[in-house]
Amino acid sequence: DTGVSQDPRHKITKRGQNVTFRCDPISEHNRLYWYRQTLGQGPEFLTYFQNEAQLEKSRLLSDRFSAERPKGSFSTLEIQRTEQGDSAMYLCASSLRTAGEAFFGQGTRLTVV
Partner 1 sequence: ILNVEQSPQSLHVQEGDSTNFTCSFPSSNFYALHWYRWETAKSPEALFVMTLNGDEKKKGRISATLNTKEGYSYLYIKGSQPEDSATYLCASSTSGTYKYIFGTGTRLKVLA
User: Which residues make Cβ contacts (< 8 Å) with residue 49, sequence separation at least 6?
Assistant: 31, 32, 33, 55, 67, 69, 72, 75
- Binding to partner 1 by CB under 8 A, coded x per residue (else -) over 50-89, reads x----xx-x-------------------------------
Least distance from partner 1 to the Cβ atom of residue 86, Å: 19
The two beta strands, 44-50 and 31-37, are: antiparallel
d(CA 29, CA 40): 30
Minimum CB distance to partner 1 smaller for 48 or for 65: 48
Question: What 3-state class would DSSP assign to 21?
Answer: strand
Kindly state whether residue 90 participates in binding partner 1, applying the rule CB under 8 A.
no
Least distance from partner 1 to the Cβ atom of residue 6, Å: 9
Residues in contact with partner 1 by the rule CB under 8 A: 3-4, 31, 33, 35, 40-45, 48, 50, 55-56, 58, 91, 98-107
